[in-house]
Amino acid sequence: MWDWLSIEWFTWDKLRAFVWVEPYFLYGILAVPFVLWLRTLLQGRSAQRFSMSFVKDQMPSQWSSALRWLFPLSVFLAIAMILVALARPQTVSNLIEQDAEAIDIVLALDISDSMRETDLQPNRLAAAKAVAKGFIRGRLQDQIGLVVFAGEAFTLCPLTSDYDLLGGYIDDIRHDRIAVAGTAIGSALALCINRLRESKARSKVVVLLSDGENTSGNLDPITAAKLAKAFGIKIYTIVVGKAISQKTPADSSAALIDENTLQQIAAVASGSFYRAQNNATLHRIFGQINRLERVKIKTRRYQEVKDYYRVYLKWALFFLLFALYLKVTFAANVLED
C-alpha cells in the first residue's frame, strides 16, 4: 500500500525501464518552470502581501528567504508528477508459451556384455548413452521412460518429463546393472508396452537399441511386437555394431546380430529398422526418429502490461497538499492567488 513512498520511483534506472505510452507529456515538465516564472513576472508588485517580521533569535532572515522557495518547488513537483502520470509509465513483459501434443516414448537400451565392444567409440554402450541424452534434450513436453535389459529387463525410469532426472539415470547405466547374461529383447518390449498401454498420448513410441539376438526371456519378440501393435505402439529398432557371422575365441563376448528378427519387430509394430555401424550413423538415426516423431508446436506470444501512473498521481497529491500547507504558513503569501 505504501510502496509508492520509495525514492526508487525517481531513480534513472527505474524511469529508463518504463515504456511511456504518451511520452510527449514529459516535455511539458520543461515548460513548468517557465510558466511559474512568467506568472511571477506578470504579477509583479501588484500582488497583495502579508507583511510579517520574524524575531531574530527565532528565525534568521536567510532561512526565512530560503524556505519561501519551498512553495513554488512543491507546486512544480506536483505539476511534474501529474505530467509523468499522464505519460502513462508501464512495464511490458513479452511472454511466450509453447504447447505441443505430447508423445510418450520409452527407450529400451541393451546393456549386455557385448555392448562393451569398441567398434563404436569409446564403446557401444557409451556411444548409445551419449546419443540418447542428445535425443532427450531435443524433445519438448514429451514423457520419456527408460528400460534396460540384458538377460533380464527392468524399468530404470518410468515415464517422466523431467529430462534432467532422466539424464542422470542414463549417466548411471553400467554393464553390471544386470547380473544375468544374455539378451532378453522380448522381455524388454513387454516392459515398454506395460508402461505405454495406459497412455493417452497422441503417439506412443518404443526405441529399442540392441547389438544381439534374442537369447533370454520368456516372451517371443515378434509376439511382443504384435501386442505393441494392438495397443497402438510403434517400435523403432536400432542395431549397433558391426555384424559378425560367427563367434571366435577372440570375440567370445560378441553377440550374433539377428537383423531379421529386429526388422520383423519394426515392421509388425509400424516402425522402422536401422543399422548403426559407427557413432555418426547412430547420431543420424536418432535425428531421423526425432523428426519422424515430431508434433506441431503451437506458440502463443502475449504481453503482460503493468501501469504505474497511480504511483505518480499519489506523489502529485502529496506535493499538492504540501504546497497548500505551505500556503498558510510563513513559507508563502496567503494573500496570493
Confidence of residue 296 (pLDDT cuts 50, 70, 90): low
Q: Write down the pLDDT at residue 297.
A: 64
Report the run of H or E that residue 274 belongs to, with start and end: strand 273-276
292 vs 174, more confident? 174
pLDDT band at 188 (very low <50, low <70, confident <90, very high): very high
pLDDT band at 295 (very low <50, low <70, confident <90, very high): low
Look at the domain 102-295 and name its fold: Rossmann fold (3.40.50)
In the block, cell 516414448 appears at 105
Boundaries of every domain in the chain = 3-94+303-327, 102-295
- Please tell me the least confidently modeled range out of 47-56, 186-195, 228-237: 47-56
Average pLDDT, the chain: 83
For residue 52, pLDDT over 80 is answered with no
Of 7-16, 94-103, 151-160, 223-232, give the lowest mean pLDDT range.
94-103
Asked if the model's pLDDT at residue 193 lies above 70, the reply is yes
- Phi, psi (degrees; rounded to nearest 5) at 166: -65, -40
Tell me the three cell numbers of residue 285.
538415426
Q: Hey, is 234 helix, strand or coil?
A: strand
Query: Residue 322: is its pLDDT beyond 80?
Result: yes
For the CA atoms of 322, 324, 329, 331, the dihedral, rounded to the nearest 10 degrees, stands at 70
The answer to whether residue 57 scores a pLDDT higher than 60 is no
- β-partners of residue 233 are 204
At 187, which helix (H) or strand (E)? helix 185-196
Crossing angle, helix 163-171 and helix 124-137, to 10 degrees? 180
> What is d(CA 254, CA 246) in angstroms, rounded to the nearest whole number?
9
Tell me which of 87-101, 162-176, 251-265 is least confident: 251-265
pTM: 0.60
Q: In this model, does residue 46 exceed pLDDT 90? A: no
Per-residue pLDDT band for 215 (boundaries 50, 70, 90) equals confident
Per-residue confidence (pLDDT) for residue 331, from 0 to 100: 55
**Residue 252: what pLDDT?**
47
* Distances from the Cα of 316 to the Cα of 67, 130, 276, 307, 323, angstroms: 20, 62, 73, 16, 10
Residue 186: closest CA among 230, 218, 148, 234: 218
Region of poorest pLDDT, from 12-26, 55-69, 253-267, 306-320: 55-69
Which band of pLDDT confidence, cut at 50, 70 and 90, is reported for residue 66? low
